[in-house]
Amino acid sequence: MKEKVISLCEKNFTIDCIKANCRVDGRRISEARKASISLGPNWGFAEVRYDRTHAVASTTVEAITPTPDRGSEGSISISVELSPTASEPAARASLFRNTGSFIETRNCIESFVRDSRSVDTEALCVLAGVKVWSVRVDVHIINDDGNCMDACMLAVMASLMHARRPDVTVTGKEVRIHAMDEREPVPLPVHHVPLSATFGLFGGGRPFDPDTVVLDPVKTEELASNGSVSFAFNSQGEVCGVYKGGGLPLHIRSFEVCSKLAATHAVGLTAILKAALADASAEHPLSTVRPMLVDAEPVAMLAKKESEREKLAAPTSTWNATPVLDTAPPDIDAMETITRARAVPKNDLIDGVFEHENEDDQNEDMKDVGPEEENKMIVEKLIRSDSESSTEGLEAAIVPKKQRKERKTRRR
Amino acid sequence: MAPPPKRGRGGGARGLEYISLDGLRVDGRLHTEVRKIRCSLGTLSRADGSAYYEQGNTRVLAAVYGPREPTGRDFEHDKAIVKCEFSTAMFASTARRRTWKGDRKSTAAAIVVQRLFEGVILLAEYPRCQIDIYVQVLQNDGGTLVAAVNAACLALINAGVAMSDYVVACSVGYVDNTFVADPNSLESGSDRPELTLAITPHSGKICSCQLVSKLADDASFESAMQYATAGAKQIFQVLEYEVKKYSLGLLDSRGMVAL
Amino acid sequence: MEAHKHSSASFTILRPKRLSDNAEPVSRLSHVPITSPGSVIPTEDHSVRARGTLLSCGESGNVLTATRAGVISRVNKLVMVMPLRSRYIPETGDVVVGRVVEIANKRYKMDVNATKHAFLLLTAINLPGGVHRRRNQEDELNMRQYFKEGDLVSAEVQERRKDGSVALHTRSLRYGKLSAGQLVTVQSELVKRAKKHFHELPCGVHTILGNNGFIFLSQTRKGAISLEMRRRIARVANSILALDSEFIAIGPDTIMDVYQTSLANGVEVKDMCTPDVVKSICVGARSMREAA
């Protein structure tokens, strides 16, 4: 795909703007666009917007028989597709599958997600040699306004964290997979959340020329740039991956500047992601894009959600509304008024989310609510206590299958 | 090649020690030592530029055609385009491969090499031309991308393509809680961090960088970069000497015929 | 570096034969200012830089670096790097042998072993019969009658335009379409610019030494080519290839020297390509070159 052209005048203007530290959209060179995430009505459906760059990801989980050489591991695969709606060259090229830059994006994301072990493939094993979970994330870039890499990465991680797989009972050699409405679906084993920051590179290219790096380039900047570098960090400050696939040779000092910026950027993005997960229940109709449903929701549930939506004072983002400029976390007070009625005690979270809670309270809670509301409440508890504790709370909530199972057996 | 069996960090499942008590690795190297390099330029007579490169047991052949007329419809009016193809011979690994071109790793490597040289070759000197780089891996013992980059650099110098500087690559692995320069296939497992770095040695700028798997923190990333840069500088000395030897040999055999 | 030889009739991919393994040239020619990409070229003030160099602004002022592997050449204030190997670079006045690749709008695109195809304008060829007239629409439609794709044409470089494109012409009776002969490809640096490029060798072979490294061999007189003539043409071709592999300048004198040596040594035409034989027959030519 010949992603051409930017006129010389635009290119020179863009570069001059960058030198003056006031980019074409008014940002500084180390400032990124605000990300907004909405998690869909279906489990594992995430929509990410960086102003006009728009990517949509969906996770599907399937139980398969593993290959003989990797019998006790599940698999995760990612595919990135450039939708013909993304840009004019993309529409022209939509007949041809082979677009070099998106092969790079996909390889990059897979390397950041898979090779840094963010999803524990060993925990995706149901019964060694017999059944494993195969997780597949499909990303579609709906609109390309620069920096698809970061938007896709965020969409993938949001989708993975929001996804649920069916619960499973293993008795001896027998595996029984429960339907999504039969038993509460279980989240995926995500250990840490790598999020990427991409920088556009500008400079002369000759041996001793200085170079400039620009965080989160817009499309015009991307076309005017001489290459890009992506860093993936998680909120603990671990570097999960670096990809610089050629382009302008970069001075090592600029490289270090980029990595520091990327680390702080990842922390900010993780906060936005957590806030979005808190807003996890279906408030976004998204009727135009309907991916493969992970679980089919009965109409009664949807109606219930409709009535609930009216109760909540917090602003909701809908498909046709003006783009959300800032994701403020949902109005916690409003939520609390609803949940206080159920008399959920406020607890300090330590590892193992539910061990210290009052059993009676729990049972009372679980009786009259469905799985959706249950999850919402759990996540709300986490958000409230999360302000005190660190990210352990969030990750602890995702991992403990055991505790949930125990709870269910108690329920019976 | 069948992936090595999964091992936890720090020692193998079968008790394989990557670094012995003396600090020597499996093949007797120190952790900062790069494998032995042997290379030669001008091996293929029909190509504009060619090079054969060996780094330990990894052997790679690179050929450059160009600058020449573009073969397809796409060309740029003000600069050259670079195309790269990376293929691995079917006999290169211990297990015979079924595909030798077009699989994901090869296309990924080809894209990296192409983008890398697009940044270093002075494309503006060859408008409406095409430069083709073909890399063929003859034997794979880890570090094929590194060997490909180094071999392609030599081949481009042999072809007389204008470049702003050499490009030298080196990789760094992580075994037994230490960084090791230039890991071979045994030391570069599927779940271990590996950093592949390509730099322009005279100015120290970074052309390409790929980190696979995660590292504990920023400090260790910086130290991995330092290992890689040091390793690349070692490799550069070998390459520079080889180019000088080749140039002088050529001048000698020409008897200083007017160039 | 060892060459991998398993048997006598084997294929070595490692080094070309002329490269010596020892460090002798390195020490002997250490005074030669060779350079490689990225190396800094020491310059004086007010030096003018030319081909093969790159100026960049470092921290301590301007720095001149080389962009190719080659020899630094300084002529007065001009500094440039002469590359060791490159494709043929056409200069005005060169005689070349080219192959028609495409017929485009009023011009023929020719492959002359350079970085880009050269073009031969319709107005720059001689019409059959030596007619002088303006080319008209009919001529344009009949372009294929004069030269088609795949034809070998000898021509002269008319000019090199500013955008790098090269224009050829065949405005002389000795240039034109070539037929009934053999093309030999050598490295373009070996064919020097000389007064004459069309030679009739004493053995009866007519050669056109193209500056681009394309050499065309044919028979002097017209008519069918006899078996004996074919053998001679083959021997001349192999002599030229021998000179090419030994990197000796190609001219009628060196070609004939190798030809005579091979005859004197009783070498069969088909054996002239083996490396040892090549060395032996080129001995005379090499000394001739060194004396010059």
Q: Give chain A positions within 8 Å (CB) of C37.
A: none
Cα(C239)–Cα(C233) distance, integer angstroms: 10
In this complex, the residue of C1, C87, C289 whose CB is nearest that of residue B255 is C289
Residues 6+ apart with CB under 8 A from C107: C119, C120, C121, C122
In order along its 292 residues, chain C shows pLDDT tens digits of 333 333 333 333 443 334 444 556 666 667 778 888 888 888 877 777 877 788 777 667 778 889 999 888 888 888 888 888 888 989 999 999 999 999 988 899 999 999 899 999 988 888 777 777 777 788 788 888 889 899 999 999 999 988 778 999 998 888 989 988 999 999 888 898 889 999 999 989 999 999 999 999 999 888 888 999 999 999 999 999 999 888 888 999 999 999 999 998 888 888 888 888 888 888 888 777 766 6
The reply to whether A24 falls in a domain is yes
The reply to whether B31 falls in a domain is no
Task: Provide the pLDDT confidence category of residue A88 given band limits of 50, 70 and 90.
Answer: low
The reply to whether A301 falls in a domain is no
Residue A117 Cα to chain centre, angstroms: 15
Same domain flag for A22 and A130:
yes
Q: Looking at residue C270, what is its pLDDT?
A: 85
Question: Hey, what are C216's tokens?
Answer: 């065309």
Number of domains in chain B: 1
B138-164 residue pLDDT tens: 999 989 999 999 999 999 999 999 999
B81 within 8 A of B117, measured Cβ to Cβ: no
Cα(B222)–Cα(C292) distance, integer angstroms: 59
Mean pLDDT value across residues A195-217: 86
Same domain flag for A151 and A45:
yes
Q: Looking at residue C282, what is its pLDDT?
A: 84
The reply to whether A293 falls in a domain is no
Cα(A255)–Cα(C217) distance, integer angstroms: 59
A24 within 8 A of A125, measured Cβ to Cβ: no
What is the overall mean pLDDT for chain A? 72
The reply to whether B119 falls in a domain is yes
DSSP string, C33-47: -EE-TTPBPP--TTP
| Chain B interface includes A401 (CB < 8 A) | no
Q: Over pLDDT 70: what percentage of chain A?
A: 63
Q: Best of B104, B213, B229 to disrupt the A interface by mutation (most A CBs within 10 Å)?
A: B213
Q: Best of B138, B165, B241 to disrupt the C interface by mutation (most C CBs within 10 Å)?
A: B165
Q: In the 8-state DSSP scheme, what is residue C266?
A: T
Query: A238 vs B216: CB contact, 8 Å cut-off?
Result: yes
Q: Give chain B positions within 8 Å (CB) of A226.
A: 119
Q: Subunits with at least 3 CB pairs below 8 A relative to chain A? A: B, C
Which domains, and CATH codes, for chain C? 33-83 (2.40.50.100), 87-179 (2.40.50.140), 180-292 (no CATH)
Q: Looking at residue A379, what is its pLDDT?
A: 52
Same domain flag for A267 and A350:
no
Same domain flag for A75 and A152:
yes
| Chain A interface includes C39 (CB < 8 A) | no
What is the overall mean pLDDT for chain B? 85
Helix axes of A371-386 and A332-340: crossing angle, nearest 10 degrees: 120
Q: Is the pLDDT of residue B197 over 60?
A: yes
* Residue given tokens 């790079």 in the structure block: A104
The reply to whether B73 falls in a domain is yes
Which of C94, C58, C73 is CA-nearest to residue C211? Answer: C94
Q: Give chain B positions within 8 Å (CB) of C83.
A: 160, 259
Question: Hey, what are C226's tokens?
Answer: 């006899």
Q: In the 8-state DSSP scheme, what is residue C88?
A: B
Run of H or E residues at A261: helix A252-278
Cα(A5)–Cα(A11) distance, integer angstroms: 10
Q: Which of residues 91-130 of B touch C (CB under 8 A)?
A: 122, 126-129
Q: Which amino acid is at B197?
A: L
Q: Best of C21, C115, C188, C289 to disrupt the B interface by mutation (most B CBs within 10 Å)?
A: C115
Q: In the 8-state DSSP scheme, what is residue A232?
A: E
In this complex, the residue of B42, B247, B259 whose CB is nearest that of residue C189 is B259
Distance from CA of A251 to the nearest CA of C (A): 13
Sheet holding C214-219, edge to edge: C181-185, C214-219, C205-209, C198-200
Q: Is the pLDDT of residue A327 over 50?
A: no
B36-90 residue pLDDT tens: 999 999 898 889 999 999 999 999 999 999 899 998 888 888 889 999 999 998 8
The reply to whether A299 falls in a domain is no
The reply to whether B208 falls in a domain is yes
A49 within 8 A of A32, measured Cβ to Cβ: no
| Chain A interface includes C73 (CB < 8 A) | no
Ranking A212-226, A249-263, A325-339, C8-22 by mean pLDDT, the lowest is C8-22
Q: In the 8-state DSSP scheme, what is residue C134?
A: -
Cα(B86)–Cα(B110) distance, integer angstroms: 5
Domain extent for B90: 37-254
The reply to whether A295 falls in a domain is no
Ranking A153-162, B202-211, C21-30, C79-88 by mean pLDDT, the lowest is C21-30
Query: C38 vs A204: CB contact, 8 Å cut-off?
Result: no
Q: Give chain C positions within 8 Å (CB) of B129.
A: 115-116
Domain extent for A69: 8-278
Task: Provide the pLDDT confidence category of residue A3 given band limits of 50, 70 and 90.
Answer: low
Task: Provide the pLDDT confidence category of residue A326 given band limits of 50, 70 and 90.
Answer: very low
The reply to whether B244 falls in a domain is yes
The reply to whether B63 falls in a domain is yes
Helix-strand-coil split of chain A, %, nearest 5: 40, 20, 40
Distance from CA of A274 to the nearest CA of B (A): 22
| Chain A interface includes B228 (CB < 8 A) | no
| Chain C interface includes A253 (CB < 8 A) | no
Cα(B206)–Cα(B167) distance, integer angstroms: 9
B40 φ, ψ (degrees, to nearest 5): -150, 150
The reply to whether A2 falls in a domain is no
Q: Report how far apart, in Å, the C-alpha atoms of C177 and of each of A145, A335, C44, C211 are.
A: 55, 89, 51, 17
The reply to whether A324 falls in a domain is no
Domain end marker among A251, A278, A305: A278
Which of C245, C240, C237 is CA-nearest to residue C276? Answer: C245
Q: Looking at residue A59, what is its pLDDT?
A: 93
Peptide bond into B67 cis (omega under 30): yes
Domain end marker among A257, A278, A299: A278
Nearest CA in chain B to A260: B218
Query: B257 vs C189: CB contact, 8 Å cut-off?
Result: yes
Task: Provide the pLDDT confidence category of residue B122 given band limits of 50, 70 and 90.
Answer: very high
Question: What are A138's strand-pairing partners?
Answer: A58, A79
* Residue given tokens 């120290």 in the structure block: B204
The reply to whether A156 falls in a domain is yes
The CATH number covering residue A124 comes to 3.30.230.70
| Chain B interface includes A207 (CB < 8 A) | yes
The CATH number covering residue B80 comes to 3.30.230.70
B62 φ, ψ (degrees, to nearest 5): -125, 140
A289-307 residue pLDDT tens: 333 333 334 444 444 444 5
Q: Best of B113, B218, B220 to disrupt the A interface by mutation (most A CBs within 10 Å)?
A: B218
Cα(A191)–Cα(A160) distance, integer angstroms: 11
Distance from CA of B75 to the nearest CA of A (A): 10
DSSP string, B64-104: EEEEE--SSS---SSS-EEEEEEEE-TTSSSSPPS-SSSSH
Q: Looking at residue B252, what is its pLDDT?
A: 78
Cα(B86)–Cα(B116) distance, integer angstroms: 14
Same domain flag for A106 and A200:
yes
More confident residue, A116 or A331: A116
Ranking A100-109, B51-60, B97-106, C227-236 by mean pLDDT, the lowest is B97-106
Same domain flag for A81 and A167:
yes
Strand stretches in A29-106, DSSP E: 35-39, 45-50, 53-64, 75-82
Query: B112 vs A246: CB contact, 8 Å cut-off?
Result: yes
Q: Is the pLDDT of residue B258 over 60?
A: no
Q: Which of residues 142-201 of B touch A (CB under 8 A)?
A: 164-165, 190-191, 195, 199-200
Q: Looking at residue A340, what is its pLDDT?
A: 47
Q: Give chain C positions within 8 Å (CB) of B161.
A: 68
B135 within 8 A of B85, measured Cβ to Cβ: yes
The reply to whether B241 falls in a domain is yes
Q: Best of B86, B116, B214, B226 to disrupt the A interface by mutation (most A CBs within 10 Å)?
A: B214
DSSP string, B110-147: HHHHHHHHHHHB-GGGSTT-EEEEEEEEEE-SS-HHHH
The reply to whether B71 falls in a domain is yes
A347-369 residue pLDDT tens: 433 333 333 334 444 444 444 44
Distance from CA of A206 to the nearest CA of C (A): 6
